Each structure stands twice: as structure tokens, then as C-alpha cells.
Amino acid sequence: MPDGSKLALFVPAALVLLVVPGPAVLYIVTQSVSRGRRAGLVSMLGVQTGGLVHVAAAAAGLSALLASSAVAFSAVKYVGAAYLVLLGLRRLLAREGRGGIGVAEERSPGRLYRQGVVVNVLNPKTALFFLAFLPQFVDRSAGSVTLQLLVLGLLFVALATLSDGSYALLAGTAADRLRGSGRLLRRERYVSGGVLVGLGVAAAVSGSKGS
């Protein structure tokens, strides 16, 4: 188990990283604005489940393999980027419901959850993040390194659940208050779809020069 001093450094460092919106937060916010707080929260749980997959991979040493293999990194990166672009295009091409302006296509909670899992599992930067971040707080003299990585990873996911869940609730509340704005809601589909496509494109081109 990590000692108290390591945890005292880990928690604030993790919170600083989490409060800065990244691709996962933008994805969750997009779902919350498009489909409401419940959809945002379900998507967030899917994203965090995907995070657990990366935690397990980091603890097992699979993230090191991914980081050392340019072919594996590129394959996962481009598959994940293509998936985000696909989600964005589907949003852009979706029909507006006649029951109300700006009402997004209905998705079952199970489908939203699975979609969130796939989005995060296919994000190689999440794997690389855990590989780079977690070992800084591991003390080899404190016992099993694998166990320490698991504890730190689970703690990070728990903090991410609180942080990203707050984003989902805030975004959903703001969307509810703007339901009466027809002009804004007519444009919302294009904004949310454009965000998803932009995230996919950014994921594809980032790191193309070895960064």
C-alpha cells in the first residue's frame, strides 16, 4: 500500500489534473448537453469503466508494451480517433425530433454506457498517462508495486468519477435552462457533433511528429 505521504501528494496532484477539461470531460459534457444529465452521468460511468481497464493494464505492465510499440500506439490511436469522428458525424446527420427543438436521438442507458467504455478504452493517451503518472507515487520499499499501482489507479478513477460527474450535472442543468431557446437548440446538434469530430481529428494528428 502507498504510504500516507505519497497519498498526500497524489490526491491534490490528481485533482489538479482532473479539474482541467480534457477529451473525456468534453465528451461527457457533450452527451449531457445533448441528452440530459442522466445521459451524461451514464456516459461518465462508461468512461470511468474504461479507465479501470487502463489501470489494470498499467498494473500488469501492458501500458509499457503499448508505449514501446509505435505500431500498437498508432493502431489504437487511429481506431479511437475514427470512433470519435463516427460519433460526431452521426450526431451531425441525426434528424431533429418533431416533439421538440434540439431533442437528441434517444439512446438506451446501456448503449450510452458501452459507448463511453469504448471511447476511453480506445484512447491510448489514457494508458500512457497512467504509465507516466502513477509510478511517481510508488515506493518500491513499501511492498508490491503492482498493488500500489492498483490502489493509486482506483483512487484516481474514484476522484475522476466525482469530478466528471460534476461536469455532467452542471452541463445538464445548463442545457435544461436553455430548452426554451429555439435558435440555440437548433444549433446544438452541429456544435456537439463538431466537438466530437474535432476531438477525433485532434487525437489523430496529435503525436504525429513523435510528441
The pLDDT of residue 195 = 76
In a domain, 38, yes or no: yes
The range of the structural domain enclosing residue 79 comes to: 22-204
In a domain, 192, yes or no: yes
What is d(CA 138, CA 147) in angstroms, rounded to the nearest whole number? Answer: 10
pTM tops 0.85, yes or no: no
Cell of 193: 457533433
What is d(CA 5, CA 169) in angstroms, rounded to the nearest whole number? Answer: 33
What is d(CA 207, CA 211) in angstroms, rounded to the nearest whole number? Answer: 4
- Mean pLDDT per 10-residue segment, the chain (211 residues): 80 85 83 88 96 90 71 76 84 60 64 92 82 81 82 94 94 70 60 78 62 39
In a domain, 160, yes or no: yes
In a domain, 210, yes or no: no
In a domain, 16, yes or no: no
**Structural domain total, the chain:** 1
In a domain, 93, yes or no: yes
Q: Are 106 and 36 in contact (CB under 8 A)?
A: no
In a domain, 157, yes or no: yes
- Is residue 143 left, alpha or beta, with left meaning phi > 0 and alpha meaning psi from -120 to 50? left
- Burial label for 53, CB within 10 Å (0-12, 13-18, 19+), is middle
The pLDDT of residue 39 = 92
In a domain, 14, yes or no: no
The pLDDT of residue 152 = 92
